[in-house]
Amino acid sequence: MMIIMRTDASEAEIAAVVERVRNNGLRAHISTGEERTVIGAIGDGRSAYGFKDQFMLLPGVDRVVPISRPYKLASREFRPENSIFPLNGVSVGNKEIAIIAGPCSVESRSQLMETALAVREAGAHALRGGVYKPRTSPYSFQGLGEAGLEILAEARQTTGMPIVSEVMREEQIPLLIKYVDVLQIGARNMQNFALLHAVGESQHPVLLKRGMMATVEELLMAAEYILSHGNQRIMLCERGIRTFETSTRNTTDINAIPVLKDLTHLPVILDPSHSTGNWNYVTAIARAGVAAGADGLIVEVHPQPEAALSDGSQSLKPERFAELVKQVKAVAQAIGRDVAPAPALNSSSVKIA
Ligand code: PEP
Ligand code: MN
């Protein structure tokens, strides 16, 4: 349930309500809005709303209302205003569109540095690159692991771009958070509840991808796991779902973008690379995603897609990515949004070995 405080409630009144919530064995999640504070009182299994009478009479409380959705902290009922995810000068969830780009996998220093410089030049705000790869075959390239993280750290140092990289197992979290600014939970792990708890506890920013066979509600329940630990820096990502259609790798669920924007305050980004599986469709679907209201994009880029160790067929060459950014900017401006200019490079004379 939500305990909605009066606009003139004092700090002491808010603290007293939070204490009463905890004394009842419920968890208190405080959301400080522009006008008033809302305290989410979440029970473990029990209906927290059963406690409502106790709270109605406390000083500073305006009203107590149930949260009707199964996800509580993720719902717009709990937090009507957009949550903002700060990413390299862009407030993701606000007016400006954020663009994350880079290879599917970190393969070598030269591949990563060349891609990083090219995507930054084209206007990307953050760099993606997997070092732990969830591959369908155990014989496919599995990622460079820690050696790849060192390469990502160098790219961050050189370009100033924050790093997004996938975490596959809880044990990887302490190492990853030394190098990575945003932990990606991949589609295959969206319902790995132990991992969701662990990234929630880490308090590290998270990019949570929708499972390829998950409903929008299941995605929001997955986000709820992370939010339940007080970790609020989450971007949700639509990355295509499985349908009967075989002409593309997945089917981009464009509907999910406005649906998510309606149901949750969390920012929503689109991955047109995995959702199509074909570089030739990526730009069109990126445009569609932004037109539909996505707050950002995550796009796979590779200097030589034909030689890529993973997802070459859906990777854009750098010059095609630069064209994507231009087109997406035009779409964003047409709907009263924009693509933020990328912050300046850290160093202008970068050598690629
Ligand atoms: C990826 O981002 O490279 C990836 C494996 O994505 P997904 O989990 O959406 O398949
Ligand atoms: Mn990939």
Does residue 353 lie in a domain region?
A: no
Same domain, 48 and 193: no
Give the ligand at the shortest distance from the Cα of 130.
1
Query: Is the sign of the CA dihedral 273, 277, 279, 282 positive or negative?
Result: negative
Residue 34 confidence (pLDDT) = 85
CA atoms of 237 and 269, how far apart (whole Å): 5
CATH of the domain at 49: 3.30.70.1140
Same domain, 27 and 131: no
Residues less than 5 Å from ion ligand 2, measured at CB? 104, 311
Question: Per the structure block, which two tokens stand in for 161?
Answer: 């771009």
SS3 166: strand
Q: 61 pairs with which residues across the strands?
A: 5
Backbone angles phi, psi at 40, to 5 degrees: -85, 125
CATH of the domain at 326: 3.20.20.70
Give the ligand at the shortest distance from the Cα of 242.
1
Residue 126 confidence (pLDDT) = 97
Does residue 349 lie in a domain region?
A: no
Q: Which of 17, 36, 65 is the last residue of a domain?
A: 65
Does residue 334 lie in a domain region?
A: yes
- Which candidate, 229, 232, 230, places its Cα nearest to that of 208? 232
Same domain, 55 and 89: no
Does residue 101 lie in a domain region?
A: yes
Same domain, 42 and 153: no
CA atoms of 207 and 186, how far apart (whole Å): 8
Please tell me the residue having the least CA distance from ligand 1 atom 9.
Answer: 187
Task: Split the chain (353 residues) into runs of 10 and give each run's mean pLDDT.
Answer: 96 96 93 91 77 92 93 95 94 97 98 98 97 96 98 97 98 98 98 98 98 98 97 98 98 98 98 98 98 98 98 98 98 97 64 46
Same domain, 27 and 165: no
Residue 353 confidence (pLDDT) = 45
Residue 45 confidence (pLDDT) = 60
Please tell me the residue having the least CA distance from ligand 1 atom 6.
Answer: 186
Pocket test for ligand 1, best of 104, 206, 210, 235 (most atoms within 8 A of CB): 104
Same domain, 255 and 144: yes
Does residue 91 lie in a domain region?
A: yes
Does residue 72 lie in a domain region?
A: no
Helices (H), ranges, the chain: 11-23, 52-56, 109-122, 146-159, 173-179, 193-202, 216-227, 256-263, 272-276, 279-292, 318-334
Residue 346 confidence (pLDDT) = 57
Model pTM score:
0.94
Q: Is 211 left (phi over 0), alpha (psi -120 to 50) or beta?
A: beta
Same domain, 124 and 187: yes
Does residue 345 lie in a domain region?
A: no
- The DSSP code sequence of 19-31 is HHHHHTT-EEEEE
The answer to whether the CB of 209 is under 6 A from ligand 1 is yes
Same domain, 11 and 147: no
Same domain, 58 and 90: no
- Which candidate, 243, 242, 266, 255, places its Cα nearest to that of 289? 255
Same domain, 205 and 273: yes
Q: Residue 318 sits in which domain range?
A: 85-339
CA atoms of 156 and 255, how far apart (whole Å): 34
Does residue 295 lie in a domain region?
A: yes
The answer to whether the CB of 210 is under 6 A from ligand 1 is no
Pocket test for ligand 1, best of 142, 180, 209 (most atoms within 8 A of CB): 209
Same domain, 208 and 60: no
Same domain, 96 and 45: no
Say how many domains are in the chain.
2
